[in-house]
Amino acid sequence: MNEEPSSNENDVLLIQLASAGDVGALAKLYDRHAPLMHSVLTQKLGDASESQDIVHDVFVKLHSKSAMYNPALGKPVAWLLTMARNTAIDKLRKRATHQKYLNKQMER
């Protein structure tokens, strides 16, 4: 009997392949997980366009940081969602800092 690997095992393999420079593996990860990431981010941020930008940013980061993934620390989908959350937080912080700067400039 030939068992098909679980989606988690497939994702681990895809991350390893992406780490080795396989752009096709990165594309498969995107196809598999971008919709969930986009949905979660849109629900939290209320802005589908900004959510799509963040998903794109995550996969750009993934291309260079895929070697950092450690399967012993959690499932690939959890890692990707954590990257999405952290990227969103960073973006919101930058926006808040920029807004504070603009407000100070307007007060002058």
pTM, 2 dp? 0.80
Report, as an integer, the average pLDDT of 99-107. Answer: 68
Report, as an integer, the average pLDDT of 84-104. Answer: 80
Residue 90 has pLDDT above 60, yes or no: yes
pLDDT, position 25: 95
For the chain, give the percent of residues with pLDDT over 70: 85
pLDDT, position 7: 84
pLDDT tens across 1-44, in order?
A: 444 457 888 999 999 999 999 999 999 999 999 999 999 999 99
Structure tokens at 83: 């990257």
Please state at what angle helix 23-45 crosses helix 76-107, rounded to 10 degrees. Answer: 50
Of the candidates 46, 34, 50, which has an alpha carbon nearest to the alpha carbon of residue 88? 50
- Architecture field, domain 7-107: Orthogonal Bundle (1.10)
